[in-house]
Amino acid sequence: MKIIKRNGSEEDFNVEKIINAVRKANNSADTPFLTDEQIIDVADYVEYKCNKIKRAVSVEEIQDMVEDQLMAKGAFELARRYVRYRYNRSLVRKANTTDNRILSLIECNNEEVKQENSNKNPTVNSVQRDYMAGEVSRDLTRRMLLSPDIVEADKQGLIHFHDSDYFAQHMHNCDLVNLEDMLQNGTVISDTLIEKPHSFSTACNIATQIIAQVASNQYGGQSISLTHLAPFVQISREKIRKETIAEIAEMGVEINEEKLNQIVEERLRKEVNRGVQTIQYQVVTLLTTNGQAPFVTVYMYLNEAENEQQKADLAMIIEETLKQRYQGVKNEAGVWITPAFPKLIYVLEEDNVQEDSKYWYLTELAAKCTAKRMVPDYISEKVMLELKGDVYTCMGCRSFLTPDRFTDAGVGNIANAGNYVPGKHKYYGRFNQGVVTVNLVDIGLSANRDMNKFWKIFDERMELCHRALQARHERLKGTLSDAAPILWQYGALARLKKGETIDRLLYGGYSTISLGYAGLWECVYSLIGKKLTEEEGKALGLEIMKKLNAYCAKWKAAENIDYSIYGTPLESTTYKFAKCLQKRFGIIKGVTDRNYITNSYHVHVTENISAFDKLKLESEFQALSPGGAISYVEVPNMQQNLPAVLQVMKFIYENIMYAELNTKSDYCQVCGYDGEIQIVEEDGKLVWECPNCHNRDQDKMNVARRTCGYIGTQFWNQGRTQEIRERVLHL
């Protein structure tokens, strides 16, 4: 058997090389993770898999197999050590700062890393392992996998090449999990066949296992639909009915049909309660291989149900989901707090948007939950049908698929999905290949108020972004389904054969790839001194958005790849871009005088504007951001003013596709204060402080804020913290 080396030459497979490499990684620890016999088993199994592929296997593929086997044996730390060992020689040969960065994050001295993700705790071992592997990946990406001009542009903040800490691996961004196919037709988790569940509670338990597996095989968000769980309510109803009838017969008593139905429905409600609780608590408490709870969105859309009975059952699940989320989860002190995940999305539709609607009670409950816990967020069925022709959820916090075009083109079931219906548009099972974001502010400032120069630089940056996006696409090409069986072989995204590549899923509209943009507000202001809220500024902003779309359309037509405009969330990148702009252009009032730039097309957080005017204005820009975007309004404590929340929700239904309400949900563990934790300045640094007892220990407070489409609970970098501090209320 031959293997293909990194330089493209072939040599004979030598199992001893695998054994020696794993031994060295294993022996580098004070206490070895595996016995020598276990290491040999790993190597033998890799040799067996290589033989089954029936072709020459690359060194990279073999090393991925080794890592997978180490993970399968539970030797997670050894797997991480093995990843680092794989590139140890090349790292040593080239002078770089990777070693120092890794050491600094282990000792929690790296402020940039500590605040890189508001839902990761960098002091936890699992997070550190992920960051350590990420540093190796970044180093490889910069030195070997990307062209120097793209690396330099990213370094200077002209663009942002997202998730370079995962780029070395063949991983994609985010997706819509085909939960229906996996539950109805079975799946495989950790080499174990999971058949169709026989109850709602079991379906919920399996769903959480699927969520965890999917999260461990990608780096972005995932979404599931409660509609896919709804059929199991009827299965449980029938099961409970049989059991109840048997119990009654055994007791020798008689009851009428009405009483029987009452008992069955009461028991069914309890099972739905337990099932939803399983999803909520499992998602919150699960820790995936990247060191955080799964970034999962739960979608609630009544009109997705196949019939009225299923819609009623779906409504029961939605009601229970909202009630439990309103309650929250307990922190270590036993106090109910707001969790970051799962993110909830509630669709406003004809059946629930008016007081006389059948499911208005769910909308009232959603409003109550939003006022206290900041979720759910809202999709307007009316506006989404106008813009996309279909209604479906985003893939995480805001990334949307383009409308299905491959079904209408007669391509067929290219993912071999078990629930494929010919002629019916398909969204679940589709995914996004990745993101590259352009810093619009830098183009604006570089043009120095010369519009001809602006469009010239704009064109150059678009070509740069295009090549960077092509690099993302090329990195995924050739990926074997074996790289992530839960995704590509067992139904989450596809049911491909072992050894088959995912290439056909990268074209024809099955997946998307995102051109992100940031700082439209500052860009326009830097060019003409006008805000997006002024007619001249708005006109230029819309023109820029149309140009972005024109480029994506051109690339799509040429390559049959669905490039799409994406309103980048900007968590840590807002700070990175701001610092780069200040370094290149100095401090310019209204443009670079803050440590953050504005997300996507948003109105600046300091702008005094009403909630309704903001949503109406931003709806025009959101319509030009088909690959994803979300608008928000900042509100005070609305728990005693639910009619106002409902008024905003109705406005969303009529005017904008996707929006949310931001409130505050904090708790001080020192004094028990349950209100808004404030941001104050201490020696030039922004810190969080309880207004009651002045506690500034972040480990002794629970703070939840909308970061940029999702809720963050682990605090933020200085740029994002300043942005949060400066947000004005829109109601």
Catalytically annotated residues: 173-174, 395, 397, 399, 432, 566, 571, 709
Please state at what angle helix 535-559 crosses helix 611-622, rounded to 10 degrees. Answer: 30
Cis amide bond preceding 342, omega within 30: yes
Distance CA 8, CA 56 (A): 11
**Is the CB of residue 373 less than 8 Å from the CB of residue 328?**
yes
Distance CA 147, CA 465 (A): 12
Distance CA 261, CA 611 (A): 46
Q: How many residues does the chain have?
A: 731
Distance CA 442, CA 440 (A): 5
Cis amide bond preceding 636, omega within 30: no
Distance CA 558, CA 321 (A): 44
Residue 196 DSSP one-character state = P
Q: Which residue has the tokens 């939605």?
A: 318
H-helix or E-strand spanning residue 205: helix 200-215
**Is the CB of residue 652 less than 8 Å from the CB of residue 659?**
yes
Distance CA 223, CA 242 (A): 34
Phi, psi (rounded to 5 degrees) for 426: -120, 130
Give the N- to C-terminal CA distance of the chain in Å, as an integer. 69
H-helix or E-strand spanning residue 386: helix 381-388
- Neighbouring residues of 243: CB distance < 8 A, sequence distance ≥ 6: none
Q: What 3 state SS string does 597-661 have?
A: CCCCCCCCCCCCCCHHHHHHHHHHHHCCCCCECCEEEECCCCCCCHHHHHHHHHHHHHHCCEEEE
Distance CA 637, CA 662 (A): 10
Distance CA 529, CA 3 (A): 61
Distance CA 139, CA 321 (A): 43
Q: Which residue has the tokens 């959101």?
A: 622
**Residue 303 one-letter amino acid:** N
Query: With b meaning 16 or more CB within 10 Å and e meaning fewer, what string describes 410-427?
Result: eeebbbbbbbbeeeeebb
Please state at what angle helix 451-476 crosses helix 148-156, rounded to 10 degrees. Answer: 120
**Is the CB of residue 272 less than 8 Å from the CB of residue 313?**
no
Task: Determine how many CB atoms are found less than 10 A away from the CB of residue 656.
Answer: 27
H helix intervals, 28-159: 36-53, 59-72, 76-86, 88-93, 98-106, 111-114, 125-140, 148-156
Sign of the Cα torsion 70, 74, 76, 78 reads: negative
Backbone region of residue 483 per phi and psi (left: phi > 0; alpha: psi in -120 to 50; beta: other values): alpha
H-helix or E-strand spanning residue 558: helix 535-559
Distance CA 534, CA 607 (A): 12
Nearest to 661 by CA among 600, 578, 586, 727: 727
**Is the CB of residue 379 less than 8 Å from the CB of residue 345?**
yes
CA atoms within 13 A on the CB side of 261: 3
DSSP symbols for 248-297 = HHHHT----HHHHHHHHHHHHHHHHHHHHHHHHHHHHH---TTSS---EE
